[in-house]
Amino acid sequence: MAAPFLAVALPIGPAGRDPAPLWREAEAGIAAAARDGAGLVVLPELFALPYVAAEAPGDWTLFAEDLDGPTATRMASAARRFEVAVLFGLALRREGGLPFNAALLARPDGRVETLAHKIHLPPAGPGEAYGEADHFSPGAPEIRTLEVGSVKVAALICYDRRFPECWRAAARAGADVVAVLVGGPAPDDPEGLYAAELQASARANAVYALAAARYGTETVTGRAVRHDGETLAFGPDGAPLARASRGDRRPLLVSIDPARLAQARATNATQARLRLPSV
């Protein structure tokens, strides 16, 4: 059986209108992860951009980049320099329409691939005129995986984690690790819901759940926007592996163990017992 594969979830934040400080923060974290032997670094949703979902549409379209834009180029350079794959969030330009909220994978050879477009776009929150659905185009209703080292990785972008069907689709696509790229406020969530979603989904689908979240409070828009997610990880049996509380900049190093995956799938094969129609 293959040796364990090391992955790092890296908190990032808060963002301003200049992405350069977040690029540098990410690069420092990628370098440290590589020194620890990681084969994959996961960064949050839209990691270098301020979160402006409640504002009038425009900023994220202006910030949007192509696959060879400045953010992707910096992450590809870091992946190549430190010989580690980097999964990161970006507003990806779309010809003739609103951009995609995307998760891109930069490989150690410098290639950049699209792993996911955010499928479910949150509507406006209570008392707000706009939500993400006013800023982005929804992705196609599909989940794919990419091989990174010895593991298969799927990506869910923030709100997509709320939908059990996304986790099921990731497991059916062969994912060993479901990376969850997180950003934005969730002030109406009951305490503990976020972690419970990831824990239950990891166990039900026998996958590792690895969430990288934005931290801090941004004031770019003239009002405070607090990031409410946490950077944390659960094993394929649902066991907690690591956790960084809100505002904690500590990266999480997680060992993806093939033996643990095999054991979880043999003893908790929820998908194999499913009697409801396939999705």
Predicted confidence band of residue 278 (pLDDT cuts 50, 70, 90): low
Q: What is the pLDDT of residue 51?
A: 94
pTM of the model: 0.96
- Domains in the chain (CATH in brackets) are 5-273 (3.60.110.10)
Contact 69, 120 (CB under 8 A): no
- DSSP labels, 115-138: EEE------PPTT-S--GGGTSPP
Residue 148: pLDDT above 60? yes
Give tens-digit pLDDT for 111-135. Answer: 999 999 999 999 898 889 999 999 9
Q: What is the pLDDT of residue 66?
A: 96
Give tens-digit pLDDT for 63-97. Answer: 999 999 999 999 999 999 999 999 999 999 999 89
Under DSSP, is residue 247 helix (H, G, I), strand (E, B) or coil? coil
Q: Tell me how far the alpha carbon of residue 46 is from its chain's centroid.
A: 9
Task: Give residues with Cβ within 8 angstroms of 249, minimum separation 6.
Answer: 11, 215
